[in-house]
Chain A
């Protein structure tokens, strides 16, 4: 296996201000390859904004972001475009192109950015759907015909199309029933374990945090309040964190210990 740098994402003293309102006031952390990291925080702590800044959709007021070796806000457009093919993003409600079938959605990055022989295109699309846990017959459906969970899976299939090194998920289990949500957790975990993809997700789902996540970063008051494994986070003495996790009895909620 070719050696690759272990650090895949560096977020360095990010400051974000909207007018008077400071959302981030020096947020820094780094992510290691092959990990599943969750970003949590109360409403309005700028989780989604931070994610948008990391993937280059929204410019931070100050600070540096290096994703896959590329400085997201300073590198040339060519380098950025090359970098964009190496990560995938799943938006909260899927953001599938509504005028295309699921298969066409998945085919967009494949056709635009990869030289896939025609005969291989269809099997590859079906493989992506299967990797996202969808049946092959979903391929010809329109996004409007899908349930919320299936839309999210289809969005993952599209994000996986180019076999990214890194995957960003914005609230992957929000709006899903518990069974579907747990299946989704397993799916995300298998992407990390089987395909070696680094996953960074925003979530409010305690079950996700307690069962599949390797590391939790807590955002509060514009800074990283805590950073570590879920056990570390549970020990942190902070009012908001305490109330966040006290919603349920943690010990009972834990299923199989995370290996």
Chain B
């Protein structure tokens, strides 16, 4: 059997107008197939048919419904709404008739709904408003749930909690450790470049200690967790929503809040401070390495200086922020997951939205914390 490309060479369709006296015939040859519709359209457009003519399909190689559509459209535009078709083989005739029966549907106009700008802005505003309202609602329900869990520790689903804890904490340690180690090195290096000029090498330890433990480690960990666990929560719950698993949970008399969300929220709230602590240690370790080789601050001196220069309040501030960040990320992740509706595309959009919302919220919160602790004088 010749390949499609070869057939294309040999079977190019033609429309030839033959006039014999008063009677004109439009003779079709070649393959009137979808692959050639462009050529067919051009050929037909070049013809100047008389008022009355007969279509002769006896020499047509083959015709498919796309070819038939072009032909019938042309015949109608040439004033032949009930054209005389002759010579088609039975199967070709059936295809032409099949298309003719659907000609009206094929011509139905398309109603494109283009959103106007003002309409778009309004719609977005309503969406955002509803989203925020939903967030607050969800946050409230989660806080109540968490409080209930704290008061009644037995009601916590321990199995699900440990599974989640493994995923959001233990499995996250390598990436958190690597990222904070590298940032610790880079930060110390940049600080060191400046401090060296004044011979103030030892004060790099103070700067790194405060900067990393109070601000950078919590923020870095929060960004990693938002991308890792927040997105995972949304994708997991979204997929469960799509397959109606969350509905199944409800009909079994359980609440998705207890079974799915609280274990995730609580696991993340426990995991975050631990991860931030890992981040603190690793970033200081990175700082210690580069301080030793670049600034002639030996590890012993580094640790001694850290003890004198780094007030315990700074790491504590970082660690206190962590569970709050965790709560926000987990709530956004779970809520976006539960907002997925019927549509596979929605899972992807919700996941993206989770990451963006989480990171923005965390940074806003961090700024609020900075002002708050400033006022408290910590």
Contact = CB atoms under 8 A, between A and B. Distances in A.
Interface in B188-227: none
A137 interface: yes
A139 B4 CA distance: 30
A179 interface: no
Interface string A80-112: 001001100000000000110001000000000
A174 interface: no
B65 A1 contact: no
Interface in A1-31: 1-2, 4-5
Contacts of B33: 163
B92 interface: yes
17 contacts: A2-B31, A82-B5, A85-B4, A116-B34, A117-B38, A123-B69, A124-B106, A127-B65, A131-B65, A131-B98, A136-B108, A140-B111, A144-B343, A144-B345, A162-B34, A193-B94, A195-B95
B37 interface: yes
Contacts of A130: 102, 105-106
A79 interface: yes
B41 interface: yes
A249 interface: no
B112 interface: yes
Given A140-B112, A163-B64, A129 B98 contact: no
Contacts, number: 107
Given A85-B4, A120-B37, A163-B64, A194 B105 contact: no
Q: On chain A, which size bracket covers the interface? A: 35 or more
Nearest to B347: A98
Given A140-B111, A163-B34, A195 B65 contact: yes
Contact of A131 (B1, B73, B97, B102): B102
SS class of chain B's interface: helix, strand, loop or mixed? helix
Interface of A: 1-2, 4-5, 68-69, 79, 82, 85-86, 98-99, 103, 114-117, 120, 122-124, 126-127, 129-131, 135-137, 139-140, 142-144, 162-163, 190, 193-196
Interface string B89-125: 1011011011100100111101111000000000000
Given A140-B111, A195-B65, 13 more contacts: A1-B91, A2-B61, A116-B66, A123-B73, A124-B37, A127-B66, A127-B102, A130-B102, A131-B98, A136-B108, A139-B110, A144-B343, A194-B95
A181 B66 CA distance: 27
B290 to A, nearest CB: 47
A136 B109 CA distance: 8
B172 interface: no
A190 B101 CA distance: 13
A131 B97 CA distance: 12
Contact of A163 (B4, B11, B66, B107): B66
A126 B38 contact: no
Contacts of B367: none
A123 B345 contact: no
A103 B109 CA distance: 13
Contacts of B11: 2
